[in-house]
């Protein structure tokens, strides 16, 4: 997802490669490709949802099982992936993540052949498991490649490429999936429409496999894992920190709201009361939603040099609430652009909540970041809740679900993030 990331820990560099220089720059350049790819693959779900909804004649709730299976992988795979990376190292973890993700993409072929929605969901879970392994490997690797004082700068740079991937994916999916399915749609059978995903995902499987081969051969700096002390050695339990627990809830509702809005955008823009767009055309407008998040990240980084992060977080949450209300109560172009502009204000939420939740945790920050990473499962739960509301109360009213999420985020920015002394 745009901005979502796995636990990060500082690790000492191997003495043979500890000098900052070309070796690090080369490694960082290579890693930006990974950030782009997992942003791309995650956002492609926003195209799959309306496509598979039409192919299998699904309810909104059933269609949201796509995000449930995808983001559910974060909850189920993050900890085992962390243990695996600790054993085999960051570089092999990256290669493994790419291969698992490639296998997930390949499974889309038998899913389309069998015309089976459960097989599609299984393929998505495998793909997401690979992305989770990739994130658990790549994020801490970026933080360790160089001076700890500039780690945030390096992550911002690589995450910008993650946002670029989320911006490009809807355009790719709109052309190769939705357009292919709508050309002569009256004459296409459901099986033929399902086949529209075969070529795009086979192409992605090929790209991921090639990247796996390349990363297995690269001479990347060796990073030694740093052991994180057990909580028993630290005194207080990590769960005793109120601002961390409230921050985990903040990550849960933020990822849920961001993913949920993105998941329903194509169908929202297709409403007669909004824009009455065909799916292929609506897919191009999703790029504005995710592109806004990319632009807002740079604006927010500059603003937070002089304004407290909590205040900026609350302001963005309130702005998002007003925009979503405008989309619920409005119609036509005003409703369309209101919901698309929410992406601009989403931009700084994840990293800001993440950093506020880790305030003052010292050596417990490693375990705490693991707690926050598990909270990304909100991307599985909140879209499913909105799907239920959409089926019972209507699509436009279902956007009240993200409003509740943003209200909590505003509270966290103003009150919940304060560290208890």
List domains and CATH numbers for the chain: 1-6+15-222 (1.20.1250.20), 236-421 (1.20.1250.20)
Between 141 and 156, name the one with better pLDDT.
141
- Angle formed by the axes of helices 65-88 and 242-269, to 10°? 130
Q: What is the separation of C-alpha 74 from the centre of its chain, rounded to a whole number of angstroms?
A: 10
Q: What is the pLDDT of residue 228?
A: 38
Angle at 282 between CA 326 and CA 286, to 5 degrees: 70
Residue 322 reports pLDDT greater than 80: yes
Q: Higher-confidence residue: 54 or 60?
A: 60
Q: How far apart are CA 341 and CA 296, in angstroms?
A: 10
- The answer to whether residue 178 scores a pLDDT higher than 90 is no
Look over the chain and give the mean of its residue pLDDT values, rounded to a whole number: 83
Higher pLDDT, 376 or 227: 376
Separation CA 281–CA 10 (nearest Å): 44
Q: Sign of dihedral through CA atoms 346, 348, 351, 352?
A: negative
C-beta neighbour count of 185 within 10 angstroms: 13
342's tokens: 């929410």
SS3 at position 87: helix
The residue among 345, 333, 249 whose CA lies nearest residue 297 is 345
- CA 107 – CA 325 distance, rounded (Å): 39
Which pLDDT score is estimated for 224? 57
What is the spatial distance between Cα 380 and Cα 365, in angstroms, rounded to a whole number?
A: 25
Contacts of 221 (CB under 8 A, 6+ apart): 13, 14, 17, 23, 24, 27, 145
268 pLDDT higher than 90:
yes
Query: Which pLDDT belongs to residue 234?
Result: 47
Percentage with pLDDT > 70 across the chain: 81
Q: What is the pLDDT of residues 92-132, one digit of tens each?
A: 999 999 999 999 999 999 999 998 999 999 999 999 999 98
pLDDT tens column, 226-242: 443 333 344 567 788 89
Structure tokens at 367: 């375990």
For residue 229, what pLDDT is reported?
A: 39
What are phi and psi for residue 8, nearest 5 degrees?
Answer: -125, 135
Could you report the per-residue pLDDT of 272-312, keeping only the tens digit for each?
Answer: 999 999 888 888 898 899 889 888 877 887 787 788 889 99
Q: What is the spatial distance between Cα 48 and Cα 167, in angstroms, rounded to a whole number?
A: 15
pLDDT at 317: 98
């Amino acid at each position: 997802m745009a901005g979502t990331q796995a636990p990060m820990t500082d690790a000492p560099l191997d003495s043979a490669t500890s000098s900052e220089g070309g070796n690090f720059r080369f490694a960082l350049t290579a890693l930006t490709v990974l950030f782009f790819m997992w942003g791309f693959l995650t956002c492609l779900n926003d195209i799959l949802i309306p496509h598979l909804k039409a192919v299998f004649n699904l309810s909104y709730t059933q269609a949201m099982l796509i995000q449930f299976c995808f983001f559910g992988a974060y909850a189920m795979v993050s900890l085992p992936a962390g243990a695996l990376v600790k054993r085999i190292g960051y570089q092999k973890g990256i290669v493994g993540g790419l291969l698992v993700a490639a296998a997930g993409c390949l499974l889309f072929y038998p899913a389309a052949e069998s015309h089976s929605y459960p097989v599609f969901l299984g393929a998505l879970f495998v793909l997401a498991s690979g992305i989770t392994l990739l994130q658990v490997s790549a994020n801490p690797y970026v933080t360790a490649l160089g001076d700890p004082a500039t780690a945030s700068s390096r992550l911002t740079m690589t995450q910008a490429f993650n946002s670029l991937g989320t911006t490009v994916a809807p355009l790719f999916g709109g052309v190769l999936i939705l357009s292919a399915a709508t050309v002569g749609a009256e004459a296409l059978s459901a099986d033929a429409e399902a086949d529209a995903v075969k070529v795009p995902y086979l192409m992605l499987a090929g790209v991921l496999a090639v990247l796996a081969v390349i990363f297995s051969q690269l001479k990347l700096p060796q990073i030694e894992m740093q052991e994180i002390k057990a909580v028993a050695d630290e005194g207080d339990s990590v769960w005793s920190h109120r601002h961390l627990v409230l921050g985990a809830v903040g990550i849960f509702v933020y990822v849920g709201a961001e993913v949920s809005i993105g998941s329903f955008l194509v169908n929202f823009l297709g409403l007669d009361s909004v824009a009455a767009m065909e799916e292929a055309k609506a897919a191009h407008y999703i790029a504005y939603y995710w592109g806004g998040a990319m632009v807002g990240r740079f604006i927010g980084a500059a603003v937070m040099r002089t304004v407290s992060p909590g205040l900026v977080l609350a302001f963005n949450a309130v702005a998002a609430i007003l925009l979503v209300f405008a989309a619920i109560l409005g119609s036509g172009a005003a409703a369309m652009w209101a919901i698309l502009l929410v992406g601009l204000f989403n931009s700084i939420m994840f990293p800001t909540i993440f950093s506020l939740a880790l305030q003052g945790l010292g050596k417990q920050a490693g375990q705490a970041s693991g707690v926050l990473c598990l909270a990304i499962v909100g991307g599985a739960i909140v879209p499913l809740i909105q799907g239920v509301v959409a089926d019972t109360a209507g699509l436009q009213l279902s956007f009240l679900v993200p409003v509740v999420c943003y209200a909590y985020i505003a509270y966290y920015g103003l009150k919940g993030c304060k560290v208890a002394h």
